[in-house]
Copies of this chain bind each other. A is one copy, B any other.
Amino acid sequence: MADDQLSRVLSALADPTRRDIVARLAAGDATVNELAEPYNVTVQAVSKHIKVLEDAGLVSRSRDAQRRPCHLEAEVFDLMTKWIERYRREAEDRFRRLDAVLEQMDGRADEQPVTGKSTKEEAS
């Protein structure tokens, strides 16, 4: 479905098992069998999970006899953080502008206040 890498990365990490695999690979490279051990699914299922991570560019593999050690490619995370930061910052800026506007018209609060109900917490 998703053809761009960011979609593939997000989709890959949307699965808790795959996130756990990534977490374990962050602690060190591992083989498919090693990775499969803790979960109560077949090793074939884990092999598929790893393929998804590999297609997303999150994991690379070398060869060691029959083994195919998996290695985490952490740089791909930047794709996500860049996307996130961009729109979070945008949203925060807008929020700040809204605050400014509200502050500007402090006294006369007769207008309906935009999104209604509350300005809520602005904390990060």
Contacts and interface: CB of A to CB of B under 8 A. Distances in A.
The secondary structure that dominates the A interface is helix
By size class, the interface of chain A is 35 or more
A88 B84 CA distance: 15
Copies per assembly: 2
Contacts of A39: none
A111 to B, nearest CB: 14
Contact of A75 (B19, B72, B117, B124): B124
A116 B123 CA distance: 45
Q: 10 nearest interchain CB pairs?
A: A11-B14, A28-B119, A10-B14, A74-B91, A26-B90, A26-B87, A27-B123, A26-B91, A29-B115, A62-B116
